[in-house]
């Protein structure tokens, strides 16, 4: 089981969609509990189709909050 600090959410800067590891991605057939870093490289935003590179963590270094400062 992942440590809580590894279960951070990521948000795309394109459409604002948030990937939540606790929920996974039903559309993309990603099971609950899958860490963002563990998503396959071809995974994309279920809303706008953005790649993983368009997502930023919501907490910590390189986070969406840190970038907006």
Question: pLDDT tens, 54-66?
Answer: 998 887 666 655 5
pTM of the entire structure?
A: 0.76
Helix (H, G, I), strand (E, B), or coil: what is residue 5? helix
Contacts of 56 (CB under 8 A, 6+ apart): 10, 11, 12, 13, 62, 63, 64, 67
Q: What is the largest CA-CA distance in the chain?
A: 34
Q: Which of 57, 46, 47 is nearest to 8 (CA)?
A: 57
The domain locations on the chain are 1-69
**Domain with residues 1-69, CATH architecture:** Single Sheet (2.20)
pLDDT number for residue 49:
93
């Amino acid at each position: 089981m992942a440590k809580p600090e590894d279960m951070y959410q990521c948000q795309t800067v394109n459409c604002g969609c948030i990937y939540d590891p606790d929920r996974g991605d039903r559309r993309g057939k990603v099971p609950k509990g899958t860490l963002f870093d563990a998503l396959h490289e071809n995974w994309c935003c279920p809303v706008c189709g953005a790649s993983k590179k368009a997502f930023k963590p919501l907490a910590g270094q390189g986070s969406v909050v840190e970038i907006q400062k």
